[in-house]
Structure 1
């Protein structure tokens, strides 16, 4: 990022504009790329929209209701793509179990994966309809036009630091006191906030690559552990009586319980490190990094 970017300068706001346009471009590519299968297209769209929604959440303070309205519209669109999410989550859980245990034979794994893949592909083909694709395209065009009307150039770093600290606080408040007995819905909400925190941190990574890259990677590791727990919970639904994988319930339940326990132990350790600071201290540290960077920039210009 070229040039000085004081708290009242246009520099950081310019970076926000470039980041937002890049996110929308990635979403358009995911929607239009003819080389992508429907499962791959849905996966890429979800990734792009998660980043975009985290970006909009960060702008809710300085931009206000227009950013929040776009975020809610994006969430509604992605909910229409959620039909295949459970089957994909169960597939990921099976891969997780296979990596952590030798109790499942290759033949069993192939059979289970084949059933879940068929369910996922059918659900994704049904959910990614021409109508939904048109609605996503329309949204992306509207979002791009709307963002260009926002005074991003006037957003100082202080407002962004406030937003980062607010997301950090929401995630930190959700960390459980008792990880083993945590409600799956609570862990799911924590995971959502961690994902949001990670994507927002990525926005400032170019400013201090060595510092923020390590922080973002730590958040991703926590997200992975929490996501694995969520996937295992989804798999439990598929092995319930009269469900597609009910025949393997007795074999899978002990493996699921053991794997979940391991993920939760690691998640507790990661969360303890990631959220060790109080939100105010986190905000002060970001501000200190910014002040130090501005000082180096000003010195280099002399």
Structure 2
């Protein structure tokens, strides 16, 4: 099965199946994947689990939803020290691909090597504490055992509509705030909201595959713009606000300038893409999805 609601199952069966599959996939990554690949995969799946819970937030009730959301959020944060450093390395590669022909040959290599050393040290410390082999496994297994506590009793898919409207509305508001007050925090907030809408559009693909696959694809593009921008901002903060081992001051100034230029490019693309995705009023968006569900679900 995949990360989507299936029409042949009722809502409760769908939610339990998808959550179980995502947790199982996390455990499989820990067993079979290289540790940094596993961390990346698990972080993505924890976000999908949070988006799934958010989809049935109103059905669950606020208290239970927050408990589940915080559990997966905090577990993801425990992986951040390793994942963030891998993301920094990937972002350096992204900068090298775009600007490598315009700087001296090993300009980016020395930066990436320093990041890799730090990442390996952090990963080794966690491995010595049995973080991956024991602690993380136990936390995931506990989450799977408690799936029966996800209080999704309704068989009516319409219970997801308030969450869809709320996620869409908050994304539209975050878009406006990002360009009215452009900084790393406002764009990061918009990124989070766009990702929730992206994952929820994935879940709804069986309602109307052609339409929702297109919507999911377009939101994915927006999420990539915002995700790359976020990674640039986090890398910039790390390189400029810590005792990072640069070769000289010119290298530091240059990497900052390149990050700024690339960020501006991504934000320009994101603005147009976002305006198209959030072109509707939230109530109109909800009403449209409601009609699709009525026509082609049960």
TM > 0.5: yes
User: CA offsets, 1:132-186, max 9 Å, x none?
Assistant: 6534333323322322354545241111122122111111111135638611011
Per the normalisation by structure 2, the TM-score is 0.87
* Alignment match, 1:263: 266
- Quick check: 1:30–1:45 contact (8 Å CA) kept in 2? yes
2:148 is matched with: 148
User: What is the rounded CA distance, in whole Å, between the counterparts of 1:121 and 1:278 in structure 2?
Assistant: 47
In the alignment, structure 1 segments of 5+ residues that lack a partner are 4-9, 298-302
Match of 1:138 in 2: 138
Worse-superposed segment, 159-168 or 62-71: 62-71
- Give secondary structure in 1 for the equivalent of 2:119: helix
Write the distance in 2 (CA, Å) between the matches of 1:2 and 1:203: 11
Partner in structure 2 of residue 76 of structure 1 = 74
- The answer to whether residue 43 in structure 2 is matched with residue 42 in structure 1 is no
Corresponding position: 1:91 with 2:92 = no
* Superposed counterparts of 1:1-302, under 5 Å: 1=6, 3=8, 11-33=10-32, 36-64=33-61, 65-101=63-99, 102-127=101-126, 129-131=129-131, 133-150=133-150, 152=152, 154-176=154-176, 179=179, 182-240=182-240, 242-245=243-246, 247=248, 248-294=251-297
Structure 2 residues without counterparts, runs of 5 or longer: 1-5
Does the 8 Å contact 1:240/1:246 carry over to 2? Answer: no
SS of equivalent to 1:243:
coil
Change over 3 Å in CA distance of 1:273–1:126 after alignment to 2 = farther
Cα distance in 2 between the residues matched to 1:155 and 1:67: 18
The number of residues matched between the two structures is 287
Runs of 4 or more above 4 Å deviation:
none
Partner SS, residue 205 of structure 1:
coil
Q: Displacement, 1:212?
A: 1.0
Per-residue deviation, 1:49: 0.7
TM-score, scaled relative to structure 1: 0.86
